[in-house]
Amino acid sequence: MQNGLYRQVALHQSKLCVVKNRMDMEGTEEQGVQNGSDESERVGIGETNMVQWPYSLELLDPNVALVPQIQYPLDYEENSEQNERLKMLIMVDVFSPYHGNYLSQRARSVYGCAVCNVLSSYLCGYLVQESSSSTTFNDDDDDDDDDAHDLDQQRIQYLEARIPCSQEEAYTWLSQLPPFVDIVGIHCESDSGLEDAEKFGDWIRSFQLQQKEISSDEYFRRYNSYNPARRDKFQMIQKVNDYSSSATMQQCLCSSMEEAIEFFNQVEGSVVLKPIRGVASDGVHLCHSRDEIMEAFQKVHRSPVFGSLFQTNEDVLIQQYIGGAEYAVDVVSRAGQHKVAAVYQYDKRPANGGPFVYFATKLADLAKDEGAKSASEYVIRQVLPALDFQWGLTHTEVKVLNITAASTTSSGYECQLIEVNCRQHNTDFAPMTDICIGYNALDMLLAGYLDPPSTRDTAEADEGVLPLPSWDSFPTYPSLRLQGYIVHLVCHVCGEVQEIQHMDVIEDLPSFATMELYPKFFPPSHVTPTVDIRSDAGWIHLINDDPSQLQSDYETIVNLMPTMFRVA
């Protein structure tokens, strides 16, 4: 089985590699956005408060004019029919080779679609800040003068690629586009750029309506209009509970320690304390006592708001802790038609002092797992409609309880939203879902925005890049052909790595497909124990048609984790 799995993983990767090789030969490297580090690609760019805070507006120089950086289809110059209208996707904060860059390259090659890359104001500020502080120069050194000039050019490139932050900037930016280009969607890879992307969508629509450039209403609506509830976790839960008329989880915004303690005293059991915005379990605390509430509140209160330039967390969100199985439902939406791309069940455990450490993300079989099916129905019938989500990718986390009485679903399961992330699942999921399901969410997204395919897909298929199916060919719910786990490698030790152990044992497991160990865990790096998803040591994909064997191999890896890194 292993050789076959490797071939299928390679088939998915070839979709990206064939296109990338062509781009390299043509010298059409993505402009202004291929500067992500290994760390940013791993956890999702924009998933940390990276900008030195408080933010300085000087980083976003208003004297640098914004310039649309259009990447045309790979064979566009060879196309003699230049008078035909050209579809264009706007891509915000594209960094990851297996998320945004994969989408961009596939759109250009398979669909013959143009792509325009922009940077959110937050990420633009980060890149400008890094380029400004990365090097010091000696005034008398000519080479340093050249380096300084190169850095100035790099900063200008970042600033030119910034997303418009006002209606005036947006109208100026849009007026520079070629008249034959039709904007058919906006995709944002980062959490920190979602607000910018939504505002830009509203400005694009108002500009097009004002200019009356497009006769069809279709292109006016291919985005999600501005809605803070898609990012504010308190508003998000409130909107969904109001929509579904079910409020199973108590929650409160507390501006003082006394309010937090009062809420804790009113709730039976434990609570979760966290900021209203955040990602990757950053600032999330599970509290069982008054003392833990006080300690967690002090850490979150008046800390910087994730993705914000100036705001602090004046209010802290406290929620009743809900038990039950936790699922992640990945959905692709096209004009309000929601299709589930994949469902995963999390295996989170307390470890190394962290309350919610990821050990595995397991593909769920909706034909056998009623909890997963209930979570899927809940997301596409209640959660996404409540938030008026119409276009793009979402990664939604849901707790599911088996309570037949007072159930909100026909199956006898009660679902409670944890949070919606209006972007992709931030892991390299596509190779595994290609094998286990037969397709992946990224290809579904492109079909949603760009279906029907252009005539260019046939030529590309001849070169080894598979053409995408139509949107209608994807089912509403996925079916598993094989079982798959993403195993998150948990480091249990602290010290300088001397040796990485058990690799031969892991690679010989019947379910082993592929893995990645992050470079910062290579010898002789100094490592610390894993306490959340951002501090894990890497991942392993396990795939098998035998659920018992798959679970056995997973348990073997979990038992090996404590001694995987020999440290001094």
Q: Find residue 252's DSSP bridge partners.
A: 318
Q: Quote the pLDDT of residue 80.
A: 47
For the cut 50, the answer to whether the pLDDT of residue 31 exceeds it is: no
Does residue 138 lie within any of the structural domains? yes
Lowest-pLDDT range of 22-31, 81-90, 359-368, 541-550: 22-31
Do both 297 and 332 map to the same domain?
Answer: yes
Task: Look at the block and give the residue holding tokens 């989408």.
Answer: 103
Q: Tokens for 534?
A: 């951002």
Q: What is the mean pLDDT of residues 230-255?
A: 86
Task: Please report whether residue 273 resides in a domain.
Answer: yes
Q: Are 488 and 524 contacting, i.e. CB atoms less than 8 angstroms apart?
A: no
CA atoms of 312 and 423, how far apart (whole Å): 24
**3-class DSSP assignment, residue 162:** strand
8 Å CB contact between 423 and 370: no
CB 561 within 8 A of CB 492: yes
Please indicate, yes or no, whether residues 200 and 257 belong to a single structural domain of this protein.
no
* Those residues with Cβ within 8 angstroms of residue 450's Cβ, 6 or more apart along the chain or in another chain: 87, 89, 107, 111, 113, 184
Contact, 343 vs 328, CB < 8 A?
yes
Q: Which two tokens stand for residue 512?
A: 């082993």
Which of the pair, 154 or 212, is modelled with greater confidence? 154
- pLDDT of residue 455 exceeding 50, the answer is no
With respect to residue 428, please indicate whether it lies within any of the assigned structural domains: no
- Judge if 211 and 282 occupy the same domain: no
Task: Concatenate the DSSP letters of all residues of 304-316 into one string.
Answer: BPTT-SS-B--SE
Is residue 521 a part of any domain in this protein? yes
**What distance lies between CA 48 and its chain's CA centroid?**
13
Q: What is the pTM of this model?
A: 0.85
CA distances from 258 to 284, 301, 302, 303, 311 (A): 19, 13, 16, 18, 22
Same domain membership, residue 412 and residue 333:
yes
Q: Are 160 and 235 in the same domain? A: no
Q: What is the mean pLDDT of residues 247-267?
A: 88
Same domain, 145 and 255: no
- Region 257-265 average pLDDT: 91
Q: How many CB atoms lie within 10 A of CB 290?
A: 12
Residue with the larger pLDDT of the pair 62 and 13: 62
**For residues 257, 258, 263 and 265, what is the CA-based torsion angle, rounded to 10 degrees?**
110
Distances (CA, A) of 365 to 2, 135, 345, 370, 562: 22, 51, 10, 9, 30
The single-letter DSSP state of residue 451 is: P
pLDDT for 329: 98
> Which is more confident, 265 or 1?
265
Cα–Cα distance between 477 and 535 in angstroms, integer?
Answer: 32
User: Counting Cβ atoms within 10 Å, is residue 519 exposed (0-12), middle (13-18) or buried (19+)?
Assistant: exposed
Per-residue pLDDT of 162-214, as tens digits, reads: 999 999 999 999 999 998 888 999 999 998 899 999 999 999 988 888 876 55
377 and 495, same domain (yes or no):
no
Instruction: Calculate what percentage of the chain has a pLDDT beyond 90.
Output: 55
Region 272-295 average pLDDT: 84
Higher confidence at residue 216 or residue 235?
235
- Dihedral of alpha carbons 409, 415, 416, 418, sign: negative
Same domain for 210 and 236, yes or no, is no
* Residues 193, 102 within the same domain: yes
Q: Per-residue confidence at 144, pLDDT binned at 50, 70, 90?
A: low
Long-range (24+ apart) CB contacts under 8 A made by 102-106 are: 102/15, 102/16, 102/430, 102/442, 103/187, 103/442, 103/445, 103/446, 104/30, 104/71, 105/16, 105/19, 105/20, 105/23, 106/15, 106/16, 106/19, 106/442, 106/443, 106/446, 106/465, 106/468
In a domain, 463, yes or no: no
Does residue 61 surpass a pLDDT of 80?
Answer: no
Peptide bond before 54: cis, by omega within 30 degrees of 0? yes
**Of 197, 226, 255, at which residue does a domain stop?**
226
> Domain for residue 439, yes or no?
no
CATH at residue 411: 3.30.470.20
For residues 332-354, average pLDDT: 95
Residue 344 — pLDDT band, cuts 50, 70, 90?
Answer: very high
Same domain? For 234 and 175 the reply is: no
Average pLDDT over residues 398-413: 66
8 Å CB contact between 28 and 75:
no
- Domain count within the chain: 3
Q: What CATH code is carried by the domain that includes residue 516?
A: 3.90.1170.30
Quickly state the pLDDT bin for 77 (edges 50, 70, 90): low
Interval 91-130: pLDDT, tens: 999 988 989 999 999 999 888 899 999 999 888 888 888 7
* CA dist 17 → 89, 97, 101, 274 (Å): 21, 10, 11, 40
DSSP state, 379?
I
For 108, half-sphere exposure in the C-beta direction (CA atoms, 13 angstrom radius) is 29
Whether 221 and 234 map to the same domain: the answer is: no
The pLDDT mean for the chain works out to 82
Cα 109 off chain centre by: 23
Q: Is the pLDDT of residue 134 over 90?
A: no
User: Which of the listed residues 191, 211, 226 is the one where a domain comes to its end?
Assistant: 226
Question: What are 455-460's contacts with CB under 8 Å, separation 24+?
Answer: 455/112, 456/73, 456/75, 456/109, 456/110, 456/111, 456/112, 457/110, 457/111, 457/112, 459/75, 460/109, 460/110
Could you tell me if 78 and 187 lie in one domain?
A: yes
pLDDT value at position 371? 94
Summarize pLDDT for 378-394 with one digit per residue, the tens. 999 999 999 999 999 99
- The residue type found at 96 is S
Q: How far is CA 551 from the centre of its chain?
A: 27
Interacting residues of 43 by C-beta distance below 8 A, sequence separation 6+: 280, 426, 533, 534
Residue at 473 is within a domain: no
- The helix/strand/coil state of 227 is coil
Q: Which residue has the higher pLDDT, 98 or 529?
A: 529
In a domain, 451, yes or no: no
Residue type, 521: F
Domain holding 277, by residue range, is: 229-421
Q: Higher-confidence residue: 85 or 463?
A: 85
Q: How many CA atoms lie within 13 A of 376 on its CB side?
A: 26
Of these ranges, 15-19, 319-323, 461-465, 546-550, the one predicted with the greatest mean pLDDT is: 546-550
Q: Which of 393, 421, 449 is the last residue of a domain?
A: 421
How many CA within 13 A on the CB side of residue 514?
16
Per-residue confidence (pLDDT) for residue 276, from 0 to 100: 82
Averaged pLDDT, 264-284: 82
Contact present, 94 and 101 (Cβ < 8 Å): yes
